[in-house]
């Protein structure tokens, strides 16, 4: 018995020594990032069908897989708040049955092929995407063409989709983070929730869906992207056989951005307005900063500065927001930031969730980090790893057919030539500390802080930390997304 106790004691000592040694090594010195790896970007071959459909083919023959996406350059930007969610519901309905196939048959046929099919819409575009082995490409493409060109839009499927969407929305509107973005879409960005509102989803009719499809799904505004184990001749032959009969329309693409702008010479405080959506009983508070940035386009050179800025501020575990809010203070499980691109502008936001009692403190920390971005150059030792994270992620994404297709779809959505892929690595590498600082100083101000949570638990601290800030408090029962002030009482 004594021998066993001694052995256990020895094992415990060795284990503790190993833990101490490992921790000492892990915190003593953070390893330097390695050099950027080169990325082999395949050539993109483009052609057009007689009806104006662009066909883009990228051969990647290392594995017998193909991803195909039909991208329509029209999405939620072409719907109003009364029909918010129409673009996404139309795209979702495409796979719910055609004139010759039911939703079940579509699913079964794709499953039999070992393939996948997905459809959806965002602000700028709508899409249908398939993934399949190259030997089953023709069969999967036939199904894809059928759902795009011959959707049935049956009332039964629409009723089911509406019920599912309303159930999801009902739940989401109890979640602080979702509520903050939902409100910001109107309050800050002067847009609408792309996923819809309860009223807009409830009002959706089969005629609305069919009308959107008939007007907005047009070959001259669409791109059929092939990437993977397929050659140009085969891809073009399939595209012509399956999509050449798709008729053109006279409907222009809608490219609508935010209606907000900052007048020259206006006061340059980081925060213009502070809003609290009071959600009594909320387990946590969502703390967010939003600002609309006019005159900055996805197609411009400033895109690369925003990419590095975002990586530095809120793009991952080692970003500044996460360092300050999670790692140093333990106030959240994570904090981040992002840019949402539109045709003529961009929407910027930061996000984090914390306990209600620390909501005001987190808001203060977010503002401090935005101010630091605009006031001081980041050290090269800090910014270089962020550039490498971006270029490394870019290279990894292009190694898969899905990632390559998504990268091309992003470019085509904004009318950017596919050759721009070749500029990414060098353009990101060229962004320096002064570029990040200049962008932040020029654009990241006069935004809105929106906090969703149990106001009673952080009211006093918010007043203490922001004594000169007028705080608009909107009780959740008073919230109406169709009002520019978010209040039911302010609807004309």
Over residues 37-53, the pLDDT tens digits come to 667 788 999 999 999 99
Token pair, residue 69, equals: 């996406």
Tens of pLDDT, residue by residue over 275-324, are 999 999 999 999 999 999 998 999 988 999 999 999 999 999 999 999 99
Residue 108 backbone dihedrals phi, psi, to 5 degrees: -65, -40
490 near 474, Cβ under 8 Å? no
Mean pLDDT of 454-467: 98
Q: What is the pLDDT of residue 170?
A: 97
Q: What is the pLDDT of residue 6?
A: 46
Task: Give the number of other Cβ atoms within 10 Å of residue 157's Cβ.
Answer: 20
In whole angstroms, give the CA distance from residue 76 to residue 342: 11
Instruction: Provide the whole-model pTM.
Output: 0.89
Residue range(s) of every CATH 3.30.830.10 domain in the chain: 45-243, 271-490
pLDDT at 93 over 90: yes
Of the options 3.30.1330.40, 3.30.830.10, 3.90.1150.10, 3.90.79.10, the CATH number for the domain spanning 271-490: 3.30.830.10
Please, which pLDDT band fits residue 36 given cuts at 50, 70 and 90?
low
pLDDT at 238 over 60: yes
Closest to 79 measured CA to CA, from 195, 235, 218: 195
How much of the chain exceeds pLDDT 70, in percent? 89
pLDDT at 8 over 60: no
Average pLDDT, the chain: 91
Q: What is the pLDDT of residue 250?
A: 80
Mean pLDDT of 121-150: 98
Q: What is the pLDDT of residue 41?
A: 84
pLDDT at 35 over 70: no
Q: What is the pLDDT of residue 33?
A: 62
Where do the DSSP E strands lie in 319-435? 335-341, 345-354
463-475 CB burial, b ≥16 within 10 A, e <16: eeebeeeeeeebe
In whole angstroms, give the CA distance from residue 204 to residue 197: 11
Superfamily, domain 45-243:
Metalloenzyme, LuxS/M16 peptidase-like (3.30.830.10)
pLDDT at 61 over 70: yes
Please, which pLDDT band fits residue 492 given cuts at 50, 70 and 90?
low
Q: What is the pLDDT of residue 253?
A: 64
Mean pLDDT of 465-479: 96
In whole angstroms, give the CA distance from residue 420 to residue 434: 24
Q: Is 392 exposed, middle or buried (0-12, 13-18, 19+ CB in 10 A)?
A: middle
Closest to 160 measured CA to CA, from 109, 215, 104, 82: 104
Q: What is the pLDDT of residue 29?
A: 54
Q: Name the 3-class secondary structure at 171.
A: helix
């Amino acid at each position: 018995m004594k021998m066993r106790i001694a052995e256990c004691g020895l094992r415990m000592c060795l284990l503790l020594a190993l833990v101490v040694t490992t921790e000492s090594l892990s915190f003593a010195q953070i390893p330097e990032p390695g050099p950027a790896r080169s990325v082999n970007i395949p050539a993109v071959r483009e052609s057009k069908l007689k009806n104006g459909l662009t066909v883009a083919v990228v051969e990647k023959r290392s594995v017998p897989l193909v991803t195909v996406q039909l991208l329509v350059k029209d999405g939620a930007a072409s719907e109003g708040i009364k029909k918010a969610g129409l673009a996404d519901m139309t795209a979702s309905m495409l796979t719910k049955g055609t004139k010759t196939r039911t939703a079940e048959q579509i699913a079964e046929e794709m499953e039999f092929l070992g393939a996948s099919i997905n459809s959806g819409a965002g602000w700028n575009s709508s899409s249908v995407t398939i993934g399949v082995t190259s030997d089953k490409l023709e069969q999967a493409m036939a199904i894809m063409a059928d759902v795009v060109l011959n959707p049935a839009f049956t009332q039964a499927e629409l009723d089911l989709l509406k019920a599912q969407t309303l159930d999801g929305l009902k739940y989401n509107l109890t979640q602080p983070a979702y509520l903050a973005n939902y409100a910001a879409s109107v309050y800050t960005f002067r847009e609408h929730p792309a996923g819809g509102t309860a009223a807009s989803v409830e009002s959706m009719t089969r005629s609305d869906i069919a009308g959107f499809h008939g007007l907005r799904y047009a070959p001259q505004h669409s791109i059929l992207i092939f990437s993977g184990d397929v050659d140009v001749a085969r891809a073009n032959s399939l595209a012509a056989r399956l999509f050449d009969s798709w008729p053109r329309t006279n409907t222009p693409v809608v490219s609508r951005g935010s209606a907000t702008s900052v007048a020259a010479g206006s006061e340059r405080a980081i925060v213009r307005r502070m809003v609290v959506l009071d959600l009594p009983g909320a387990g946590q508070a969502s703390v967010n900063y939003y600002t609309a940035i006019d005159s900055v386009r996805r197609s411009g050179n400033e895109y690369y500065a925003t990419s590095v800025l975002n990586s530095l501020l809120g793009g991952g575990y080692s970003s500044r927001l996460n360092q300050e809010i999670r790692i140093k203070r333990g106030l959240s499980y994570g904090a981040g930031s992002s840019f949402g691109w539109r045709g003529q502008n961009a929407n910027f936001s930061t996000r984090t969730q914390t306990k209600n009692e620390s909501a005001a403190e987190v808001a203060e920390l977010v503002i401090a980090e935005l101010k630091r971005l605009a006031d001081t150059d980041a050290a090269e030792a800090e910014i270089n790893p962020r550039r490498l994270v971006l270029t490394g992620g870019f290279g990894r994404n292009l190694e898969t057919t899905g990632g390559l297709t998504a990268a091309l779809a992003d470019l085509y959505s904004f009318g950017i030539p596919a050759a721009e892929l070749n500029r990414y690595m060098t353009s990101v590498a060229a962004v320096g500390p002064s570029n990040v600082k200049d962008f932040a100083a020029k654009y990241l101000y006069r935004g809105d802080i929106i906090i969703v949570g149990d106001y009673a638990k952080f009211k006093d601290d918010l007043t203490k930390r922001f004594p000169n800030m007028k705080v608009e408090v909107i009780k959740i029962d008073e919230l109406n997304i169709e009002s520019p002030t978010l209040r039911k009482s302010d609807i004309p």
